[in-house]
Amino acid sequence: MLQALARVPDPRDAGGRIHPLPGLLTIAIAAVVSRSSRVAEIVEWAADLPDAAWDRLGATRDAFTVARRVPDDSTLSRVLTGIDAGALDTAVCRWLLSRAVLTGAGRRVIAVDGKSLRGSGPTGTQVHLLTALNQAGGGRVGEGG
């Protein structure tokens, strides 16, 4: 997923980037699939990730304390509202297709469900949540790989 999300343009100023965009987007997607629906819940979910996951996501560490730097609410909110939704949609769809398996009938089947997050902005600019289920294996898309 990180490779697919690396194609999404980063809306942030290059000089102020602490967290890699693919890692932030992966955290947001995984947290939403895990039933987090608000930015604060996504940040709380992310804070509980083990160090190995943070390392894989490209998380930076504080130069003095060597503690991992977890994105805060404002950072994640700014990234999610500034992202090119079309580019994110394309990246996620490409990744989903790459993860799809062929069923006995030779078809790829992934069940995708989306919701608009109530109160996340005016109509047309709301945050949308996405869940995908691999019909062949019965698990969430991305499990085991």
Residue type, 4: A
First to last CA, the chain: 9
Using an 8 Å Cβ cutoff, are 18 and 60 in contact? yes
Q: What is the pTM of this model?
A: 0.67
Residue pLDDT, tens place only, 67-114: 888 888 998 999 999 999 999 999 988 888 787 665 566 666 777 787
Q: Does residue 140 carry a pLDDT above 60?
A: no
Residue 32: C-alpha distances to residues 1, 15, 16, 25, 116 (Å)? 15, 28, 26, 11, 12
Q: Is 124 left (phi over 0), alpha (psi -120 to 50) or beta?
A: left
Q: What SS3 state is found at 44?
A: helix
Tell me how far apart the alpha carbons of residues 141 and 95 are, in angstroms, rounded to a whole number.
9
Q: What is the pLDDT of residues 29-44, one digit of tens each?
A: 988 888 888 999 999 9
* Mean pLDDT, the chain, whole residue set: 81
- Report the pLDDT value the prediction gives residue 145, as an integer from 0 to 100: 36
Q: Is the pLDDT of residue 4 over 80?
A: yes
Q: H helices of the chain, where? A: 2-5, 21-33, 39-47, 51-56, 73-82, 85-99
Residue 12: which of 79, 74, 91, 85 has the closest Cα? Answer: 79
Residue 58 Rama label (left phi>0; alpha psi -120 to 50; beta): left
3-state secondary structure of 134: strand
Query: How many CB atoms within 10 Å of residue 109?
Result: 13
